[in-house]
Structure 1
């Protein structure tokens, strides 16, 4: 295997590993479910993407042609992770899971739960 491919794979694996580590740490350390959703959907998705890019490069070199399985897995993850996080957030909202006290705009949670239109604040004249 050419040295430049090994360097690209190592960099991709390191970047993916760092994002996975940050995502895992955030999942453990963030205080409530609404904040914990950011770690797996953002950092971990980028981490898995880095690992899959390295795998794609390796498999493409072994087979001699472009390996698209990893691209399809990455595309699937990039599409489904935000949708899953949205569904988990809606479930937590409808089960009335309380956010931490410092969360801003907690007064809007009941409005969102009832699917009402959020009115923008009125500007004073």
Structure 2
């Protein structure tokens, strides 16, 4: 009973963080802040959701599989976000502050 209640709390918090990450994708102004919002909330939501699912198991082979999936996602999620941001930066995409300062400098020259 206690494990099920704690599991429900973890699953609810994980869903909340997933939702806030999705809102961040639409609300933040530039690519890099959107990637950051998605990456951070995705990582914490993964921990909370898989923690809640692990509490619902009977601590057998399913628990081990969930733990391996959790570790895999915790290694690949931030790595993928970093690679995405680095490739965007390498491709010439500017941050919001850089693009604003570039626009101001262009206005000053005119």
TM-score, with structure 1 as normaliser: 0.70
Q: Which has the higher contact order (CA 8 A, sep 6+)?
A: 2
Contact 1:24/1:44 (8 A) holds in 2: no
Match in the other structure for 1:73: 69
Query: Any gaps of 5 or more consecutive residues in structure 2?
Result: 103-110
Question: Residues 34-81 of structure 1: CA distance to partner in whole angstroms, max 9, x if unpaired?
Answer: 11111221111211221111111212x2xx536111111111111111
Task: Check whether the contact 1:8–1:54 (CA below 8 A) recurs between aligned residues.
Answer: yes
2:90 corresponding residue in structure 1:
94
Partner of 2:107: none
TM-score relative to the length of structure 2? 0.78
- Between the aligned partners of 1:104 and 1:46, the Cα distance in structure 2 is 32
Kindly state the Cα deviation for residue 103 of structure 1 after the two structures are TM-superposed: 7.5
Q: Which of structure 1's runs of 4+ aligned residues deviate more than 2 A?
A: 101-106
Q: CA deviation at 1:105?
A: 9.5
Q: More helix per residue: 1 or 2?
A: 2
In structure 1, C-alpha distance between the alignment counterparts of 2:99 and 2:73, rounded to whole Å:
28
Q: Is the 8 A contact 2:28 2:34 kept in 1?
A: yes
Q: By how many angstroms is 1:102 displaced?
A: 6.8
Q: Which runs of 5+ in 1 are unaligned?
A: 107-125
Match of 1:7 in 2: 5
**Structure 1 residues 25 and 83: alpha-carbon distance in aligned structure 2, compared to 1, 3 A threshold:** same
